Amino acid sequence: MSDTNEPVERNGLWRNDPATPEGKYPIVLRRDGTPLESRYFVMTLKDPATAAALTAYANEAACRGYNPGYVADVRELAAQAKEIAAEDQGLKEPTADPDAPRHRRDNPVVLLWAQSIGNPGA
Give pTM, 2 decimals: 0.76
One digit per residue, pLDDT tens: the chain, 122 residues? Answer: 344 444 446 678 888 888 888 888 888 889 999 888 888 889 999 999 999 999 999 999 999 999 999 999 999 999 999 999 988 877 666 676 777 777 788 899 988 888 888 766 65
121 bridge partner residues: 40
Domain that holds residue 48: 15-96
Cβ contacts of 52 within 8 Å, gap of 6 or more: 78
Q: What is the tally of structural domains in the chain?
A: 1
Question: Considering the domain boundaries, does residue 101 fall inside one?
Answer: no
Determine, yes or no, domain membership for 121.
no
Residue 1 inside a domain? The answer is no
In a domain, 122, yes or no: no
Residue 85 placed within a domain? yes
Residue 70 falls inside a structural domain: yes
Residue 41 domain-assigned (yes or no): yes
